[in-house]
């Protein structure tokens, strides 16, 4: 049987966007979180466990940079590391996440020492980092395309939390408010990058599979948070 021909650019983009069906926005826990149906300890559990994911984003991005032979891509991609880690102490997405942790009633120390992180979350996040270390850089970039689906979700989260969880301190929303415009720009760049560099059907199929894998990682994180208990109030 002859190998399938490459998808057109539009068909490939549609195949990638179709993976939104597997994104974590429809997970039962996320639906409860945005509907205002989560207890304070459940909100804290989500924040504490998401820290483990946030903390590994720069390592994941560094792995993609390390695997990429193209200087123009490396120069652009390294901006993600700077956004997350900041250019100096006390700056960047990680610090903003700790502000969020404090805003929901967690101490920085208990978030940083990761005492609340569930084994399933560790397994999922570690698997994602390992994927980006061992797979071709285009697949790592394709896995990051969950950012196509995340800006609207983050915007909705801020509105929902302000409406339903008035006990959260307002300064806790800084991470999401800073991230939304950045991720919109990043998603456009990454989509164009993947559409351009995954030029064969084999590479296209691998890119779609990578994005589906990332969706599974995020979904598995919520499974672990929902099923394995939460930090006490």
The reported pTM is 0.93
Contact 222, 29 (CB under 8 A): yes
pLDDT of residue 90: 78
From its phi and psi, is residue 99 left (phi > 0), alpha (psi between -120 and 50) or beta?
alpha
Sketch out the chain's domains with CATH numbers. 9-227 (1.20.910.10)
> Is the Cα dihedral 107, 80, 13, 204 positive or negative?
negative
Residue 232, pLDDT above cutoff 80: no
> Is the Cα dihedral 22, 99, 160, 84 positive or negative?
negative
pLDDT tens digits for 86-135?
888 878 899 999 999 999 999 999 999 999 999 999 999 999 999 999 99
pLDDT tens digits for 35-82?
999 999 999 999 999 999 999 999 999 999 999 999 999 999 999 999
């Amino acid at each position: 049987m002859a190998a399938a021909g490459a998808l057109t650019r539009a068909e490939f983009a549609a195949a990638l966007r179709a993976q939104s069906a597997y994104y974590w926005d429809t997970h039962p826990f996320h639906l409860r979180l945005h509907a205002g149906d989560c207890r304070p300890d459940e909100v804290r559990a989500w924040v504490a466990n998401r820290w483990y994911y946030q903390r590994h984003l720069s390592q994941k991005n560094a792995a993609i940079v390390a695997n990429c032979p193209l200087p123009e891509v490396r120069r652009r991609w390294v901006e993600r590391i700077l956004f997350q880690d900041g250019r100096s102490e006390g700056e960047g997405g990680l610090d903003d996440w700790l502000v969020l942790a404090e805003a929901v009633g967690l101490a920085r120390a208990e978030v940083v020492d990761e005492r609340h992180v569930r084994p399933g979350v560790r397994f999922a996040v570690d698997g994602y980092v390992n994927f980006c270390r061992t797979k071709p850089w285009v697949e790592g970039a394709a896995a990051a395309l969950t950012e196509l689906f995340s800006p609207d979700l983050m915007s909705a989260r801020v509105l929902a939390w302000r409406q339903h969880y008035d006990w959260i301190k307002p300064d806790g929303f800084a991470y999401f408010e800073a991230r939304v415009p950045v991720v919109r720009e990043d998603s456009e760049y990454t989509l164009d990058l993947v559409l351009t560099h995954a030029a064969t059907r084999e590479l296209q199929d691998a890119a779609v599979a990578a994005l589906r894998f990332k969706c599974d990682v995020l979904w598995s994180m919520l499974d672990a948070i929902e099923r394995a208990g939460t930090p006490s109030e």
